[in-house]
Amino acid sequence: MKIIVFGANGQIGKIFIDKIKKEGKHEVTAAVRKEEQVKEFQANGVNAQLTDLEGSVNELAELIKGFDAVVFTAGSGGKTGPDKTLLVDLDGAVKTMEAAMEVGTKRYLMVSALQSNNRENWNKKIKPYYVAKHYADRCLMESSLDYTIVRPGGLTNDPGKGKVAVGQQLERGQVSREDVAAVLLACVDDDSTIGKAFDLTEGEDSIARALETL
């Protein structure tokens, strides 16, 4: 599969791209927003394209054309205000969905956030972030795309354990970025995850076993 990754220069994005390269089954392209990031990926043998999620649907469609799958792991981050959360995490994500549909790219994998589907459990301090994640996920679920939505708990930089829990309403918990990237890759390779949206934390099951329970 030809896969394009939005948020490729981010922490999950970089680990995911490393993993996909090592697995060797797919062709991956990093969509990044700075020229120096393009050069850095290319220097490491990874295709890279300049993009900005604040750009137009047409620009994004031009970029996505020819890819089989989109992975969205971008986010404006905790240091920006709710305006950027809206523009990147919500509208940026939805524009990539519209663009993917326009050019016939069917597969779409989203990195969301634990319990973003459940308003009652949103962290009050970062409600706008949950609103953005919630509505981006809803747009994706209502689209014609072959989606998988992974909703990880608090992200850590611990080494991956390869042991996770998945479910519809997991207790608040953590998960390493490496395990999130491994789950994303497993989902790319497993069409039974199409049409699924699930919380993800560290847990007891192997990734393959956990995905079987969805």
Q: Rule CB under 6 A: which residues touch ligand NAP?
A: 7, 9-13, 33-34, 51-54, 73-77, 88, 92, 111, 113, 152, 154-155, 177
**What's the min distance (Å) between Cβ of 68 and ligand NAP?**
21
CB of 56 to ligand NAP, least distance (A): 13
| Nearest to ligand NAP of 77, 191 (CB atom) | 77
Query: Which long-range contacts link 19-28 to residues 24+ away (Cβ below 8 Å)?
Result: 19/181, 19/182, 19/185, 20/185, 20/188, 21/45, 21/46, 23/185, 25/1, 25/189, 26/1, 26/2, 26/188, 27/1, 27/2, 27/3, 28/3, 28/4
H/E stretch holding 46: none
**Which is the catalytic residue, given 108, 129, 130, 147?**
129
Catalytic (active site) residue 135: no
CB of 175 to ligand NAP, least distance (A): 8
Q: Smallest distance, Å, CB 176 to ligand NAP?
A: 11
Which CB atom, from 29 or from 51, has the smaller least distance to ligand NAP?
A: 51
Is 16 strand, coil or helix? helix
The owner of tokens 């050069």 is 39
Nearer to ligand NAP, 29 or 73 (CB): 73
Q: Which is nearer to ligand NAP, 10 or 203 (CB)?
A: 10
Residues forming beta bridges with residue 110, ordered by sequence position:
72, 149
Region of 66 on the Ramachandran plot (φ > 0 left; ψ -120 to 50 alpha; else beta):
left
Residue number with the shortest CB distance to ligand NAP? 10
- Distance in angstroms (rounded) separating the CA atoms of residues 214 and 209: 9
Catalytic residues: 129
